[in-house]
Amino acid sequence: MSERSIGKVISVDSFRAYIRLDDDLKSLYKSGYEDIFEVARINSYVIIPIGSDKIVAMVTSVRSIDETEIGKNKEAIFLTKSARYLVATMIGTIENSGKYIQGVYNYPILDNPVWYVTSQDLDNIFDQKKKQDSEKINFDDDYYLPIGTSPSFPDYKIKINPDKFFGKHAAILGNTGSGKSCTFASIIQSMFDFDYNGKKLKNAHIIIFDTNGEYKQAFQGTKENPYKNLELVNPFHIDKDGLKVPFWFMNFDDFDFLFRPSELTQAPILKTAIGYSKSKSDSTNPNIISKHYERFITSILESDDLFMKKYHKPSSSWVINPSNEIVELSNEIPAQFSDIKSQLTLLGLEVNKIKEIKIKESLETFYLEYLTQKEQNKKTVSESIDHPKYFDFSELIANSINQAIDDSEGSSQKVREHLSTLKMRLHSYLSDERISNPLLLSQKEDIESGLAKFIAFIVGDFCKVFKTTDADILSEYHKKQLSKVECEKLESNKPSQVTIIDMSLLPFEVLETITGLIGRLILDFTSRLPESDRGKLPMVIALEEAQNYIPEKNRGDRESIAKKVFERIAREGRKYGISLLVSSQRPSELSKTVLSQCNSFIIHRLPKPRRPKIC
């Protein structure tokens, strides 16, 4: 038996080993050749040898169980015999070469011996091997970034490999005041502080959704004490004046979540109206006529007798003079059909090139053209709904919704009654500056190359598309940051490696919509990059107080739009170079899909789980 032995394995599952300590081990320490070693201490390590490899297991539970021996002679009295047991979670393997790797690939068998951990083992686990002065660090193999000190082994620093840590999703969990924000800021600062064989980070893209407005000081500092790597990081702080997310970038799912239309009546009309608004802004002649006029034309074409009795004139035609004005028009035509000339123009009939039109022949000709154009318009409208095209939001409320109602089936009056609450809600959002300002609902003009500018604005590469002659709202905010002084000044012609989006003053009604929209645009942008360029623009999206916009349970009857987006990023983002870092004080309220995709966890103090009362 090895001198290092402290017990044996009595049970094994997929990630834990149950160990019985040797009976002759009377204390929590064991003497070795080098030192006195601790055993059976929570968060300490034990070694389970498997051939030439050694499994590293962390002690998570210690217990003592009394075992009573019952002899054949029932009259005899025996004292109880106490046995001590450990439960240890297997976390990694030290190979024969001395290299430590995460994970277990060969499991112990029953009665497998268990050893205490030595300083040499700890050097391998914590990567504390001293290198020669002439030897450079191999950044692909070594966990080189120190982020703290082990509480169980204070002589050893905890180090991570940033590429591996940020190449996968991670979570920082702990209740309020436990140090989550400090931990994240410290890790990011350590990345910029560390010397990578004389090199510094130059291509980081870290986007922080700052719910509490506390990261500005961490990466800009104060006038008295500016951040020491200010010029290297060039942090871009987007406050409430700069956080402008154009509403026309939203798809219909975003509109549906924000405006909450009823599914059966309001949602289809709103969807059609948005399509009309976007198609109008994209075409000078949308060729859309009212449902009433379409029915009027149909009634004329269906019966010559009806036409002759109701609309007959001595000339058997309506005459249009050279000035393009209709000379005669029956007074019996309803008011909504009175503007015949404008309807003919809308249908594409070139009334300015002819002097006399026989109604029957003309209607047959352009009605067929209208039906063809109508099908093309339907396709154009449906394709326009999710495209990031600018449209006038006030025009949507005033005209496009009414037009969609006219084109709907059924009684227009009943539909208008059902749409009244939605229109009131749209009006209230437009008039509420807390909502209309960040979403630009009152914007009366498009932003040139708006989508490209917005993505560059969020990612931190706005200097690559910025022009001093541009006067849009994003460019004006960028100019303002360039003109600031001291630690708040933004360096020109230099990308920002950290973008801080201050969401502390956003109203709760639009928090999920805006975060989800930004996340979706980033994912759509990176997913459209050529495969050869994937990974050249690595991004880390840090979600502070993540339970606020990626909740496990929906608030109300609608699924959170931000939850859908970030769950998709959690599942698919890594292949496009996007990783998530979620921070939450209520992990039980956080999306389980997102948490299940996290590979690394930093756990601070957490409240005790609820336990049922025992009566």
Distance CA 412, CA 472 (A): 40
| pLDDT score at 152 | 81
Quickly list DSSP for 200-261: ---S--EEEEESSS-SHHHHHB-SSSB-TTHHHH--EEE-TTT----GGG--HHHHHHHH--
Q: Name the residue among 195, 51, 53 with its Cα closest to residue 124.
A: 53
Q: What is the pLDDT of residues 144-163, one digit of tens each?
A: 788 888 888 888 888 888 88
Most confident of 237-251, 275-289, 299-313, 368-382: 237-251
- Flag whether pLDDT at 70 surpasses 80: no
Neighbouring residues of 568: CB distance < 8 A, sequence distance ≥ 6: 523
Mean pLDDT of 185-201: 86
Q: What is the mean pLDDT of residues 527-536?
A: 83
Report d(CA 43, CA 86) in Å as an integer: 11
Res 357: pLDDT: 42
Confidence at residue 55, expressed as pLDDT on a 0 to 100 scale: 95
| 52-68 pLDDT, tens digit each | 899 999 999 998 887 65
- Alpha helix segments (H runs only) across 99-179: 119-125, 162-166
pLDDT score recorded for residue 126: 87
**Per-residue pLDDT averaged across 10-37, rounded?**
83
Burial of 77 (0-12, 13-18, 19+ CB in 10 A): exposed
Q: Is the pTM of this model over 0.85?
A: no
Assess whether pLDDT exceeds 70 at residue 330: no
Question: Is the pLDDT assigned to residue 571 strictly greater than 50?
Answer: yes
pLDDT-based confidence at residue 336 (cuts at 50, 70, 90):
very low
Residue 556 · residue 519 · CB < 8 Å: no
Residue 41's closest CA among 64, 26, 18, 60? Answer: 60
Pairing mode, if any, of strands 45-50 and 36-38?
unpaired
pLDDT digits (tens, 9 = 90+) for 465-496: 998 899 899 999 999 999 998 889 999 889 99
Of 583, 549, 548, the residue nearest 178 (C-alpha) = 583
Tell me what the mean pLDDT of segment 449-457 comes to: 93
Residue 491 three-state SS: coil
Give the percent of the chain with pLDDT over 90.
37
Measured from the Cβ of residue 592, the count of other Cβ atoms closer than 10 Å reads 11
In the chain, count of helices (H) and strands (E)? 20, 20
3-state secondary structure of 524: helix
Whose structure tokens read 């990974």?
A: 535
Longest dimension (CA), the chain: 132
Residues 6+ apart with CB under 8 A from 579: 166, 167, 168, 169, 170, 538, 539, 540, 541, 573
Phi and psi of 326, rounded to 5°?
-75, 125
* Cβ neighbours of 279 (radius 10 Å): 23
Q: pLDDT tens across 114-132, in order? A: 999 988 898 888 887 665 5
Residue 519: what pLDDT?
95
Q: Tell me the two tokens of residue 603.
A: 């756990």
| pLDDT (tens digit per residue) in 176-190 | 888 889 999 999 998
Among 23-27, 49-53, 59-63, 389-393, the minimum mean pLDDT is found in 23-27
- 84-93, 456-465, 533-542: range with lowest mean pLDDT: 533-542
